Amino acid sequence: MKTKIDCDKALIKDIFQNWYSIPNYQRPYVWETEQVEELLDCIKNAYENREEQYFLGSIVYKITDKNVDGVEYKEYELLDGQQRITTVFLIIAVIRDIVIENKDKFSEEDFEDITKTCEKRIFQRKSRGDGIPERMRIVFDIRKDVRDFVDIHIKSNGSTSDEKTFKSLSEDPKVNTSIRHMANTVLTARRFFTNNFSEMEDLFYYLQNNVLLVYVATENLDDAFQLFTVMNNTGMKLTNSDILKATNLKEIESEHKRTDRAIEWEEMESYFGNEFDNFLSQIRTILVKRRAVYALIKEFENIYSGNIWNRNTKKWDKIEPILKKGEDTFAFLKEYFNAYQNVFDKSHFDETGSYIIFNYLSFMAKAFETDYWKAPVLMYFKKFGYKGFGDFLKKLDNKLSCDWITGLIASMRIDNMNQILVCIENSQDYCNVLSSDVFNVNINDFKNVISENIYGRRYARYLLLKIDLLYKSADFQYTFPETISIEHILPHNPNNASQWRSDFSDEEREEWTDKIGNLVLISRRKNTAQGNRDFAAKKDKYFKNNIELFPSMLKLFNENTEWKLANVQKRQNEVVEMLLRYYEC
């Protein structure tokens, strides 16, 4: 027997006659200022252009029969559209409170009508005779702290007026993601209606009577999940994490366990923010240990089915499913989430007696343009912990950077990282990993590249940062300034009257200016006029406030009172030899 699926349009005033729940498998409320402002501006423009109706979007929900204190009613479990409907919910609360704050500017009739209408849209008092339960129009089942926030800061008349509290909540990174964004939406809506106060009353009635949504409803959870996921192909974009979460929660029968897993998922999603899909991609790489062929969701479907594409044979390898949906997926993600926090959220000083691990991780995060090195880091740490971890990071960094600097194409660099994953998986002892030939580098090609001109190459900043890292003591925590630029000691185009013209011929400047021995880092944007100064003036004025940030610069100016050809050649030899010794270890 087929389940009935109902679809129709409904005005906001009708939508908010019902009772909704944001289920535990939903993502947090994440609308930013721009999205809220766009919604409000569109409604305002539609009103001012006298458009009969404004289409806000769609919602998908599962209908559930409820009985609370002897009152039976229908509850709508939202699977899609919670961002829009929650935003409207918060906007109504803001309108209610701005009207209350400005009671003397409204007629008694209008004041009563607006405030009472808003109150009923937000919270309904019990009426057993009318079959109406007492509850919020929207209940946020995903987190108790979100429900508490709504109960304290949204439900009561005047509760959105405390802008100082909302500002504090919206700016505190430790606050739950949904609460932080809800607080920001309240502030955004308050700004909008304060600036458009003269039209607020008309805008409110337009919102109630002319703004509509299309709803799709079913009583079957499987159908509801299917509707939720197919919305991704109809222009209403869901993130990979949204679909993956829904797909796996669907496999968990226990409501209690489903709630627990949804909360764990939200904690991960809140932690990573917009980078959550990147984390899921790293998990995919750890599982498959091959380059991705399809989009992330399709890749996970293949993981669950055991279909893995073999690039060498150009055929599908049919294997045992690598991971099962439901509890197994949540457990696997949680283990690697814990590993990620242990790796990237600690200074690691207590465990190692030095800042070697912290410095390497900070360096790689700052210096590399990609993050596919994180998958081997996570897999190694999860399996071996701190055993040889510093040495592993050094070898991993050297392998990836040498492949990059010597011109290996991106796909081959990724394949080499995947070979390291295979090595970790097959090794029972961390020493076997550290002694593996998967870390071998082409040292001759590396030497040739770093001995030539490097300025303007994408890896130039990386090499200069690496030199700085090598000059640092292992017990010193390495931090990076926000702005990092590359500066020439010997400039490209010195003035005709400068000392540079006397100390270097045109041929010497052409040969040595862009070599690594003539380059340093500065913690401010490059200033061409300052960069053309003579060496003594540069040393005294330009670098005075920067040398404490970059040890290689400090060493250069401490050891040199002049900068002539011999000085450049000496430093060139020094840094090249230092890098070669490091990469040969």
Which residues in the chain land under pLDDT 50? 1-2, 232-237, 529, 547
- Per the listing, tokens 């509760």 go with 159
> What confidence score (pLDDT) does residue 1 get?
40
> What confidence score (pLDDT) does residue 236 get?
40
Task: Please tell me the distance from the alpha carbon of residue 353 to that of residue 530, in angstroms, as a whole number.
Answer: 42
Tens digits of residue pLDDT in 14-29:
999 999 988 766 778 8
> What confidence score (pLDDT) does residue 235 get?
38
Element (H, E) at 424: helix 410-426
CA distances from 416 to 132, 376, 413 (A): 63, 11, 5
Residue 310 bridge partners (DSSP) = 315
> What confidence score (pLDDT) does residue 234 get?
40
Q: How many CA atoms lie within 13 A of 171 on its CB side?
A: 7
Residues in the chain: 585
> What confidence score (pLDDT) does residue 192 get?
97
What is the dihedral angle through the alpha carbons of 484, 486, 491, 492, rounded to the nearest 10 degrees?
Answer: -120
- What predicted TM-score, i.e. pTM, was given to this entire model? 0.69
Nearby residues of 467 by Cβ (< 8 Å), 6 or more positions away: 516, 552, 575, 578, 579
> What confidence score (pLDDT) does residue 577 get?
96
DSSP-derived 3-state class of residue 268 = helix
List the one residue out of 56, 69, 73, 55 whose CA is nearest residue 17.
73
> What confidence score (pLDDT) does residue 252 get?
87
**Dihedral (CA of 321, 322, 326, 328) sign:** positive
Tens digits of residue pLDDT in 145-167:
899 999 999 999 999 999 999 99
> What confidence score (pLDDT) does residue 294 get?
79
Tens digits of residue pLDDT in 380-394:
999 999 999 999 999
What is the dihedral angle through the alpha carbons of 176, 177, 182, 185, rounded to the nearest 10 degrees?
Answer: 140
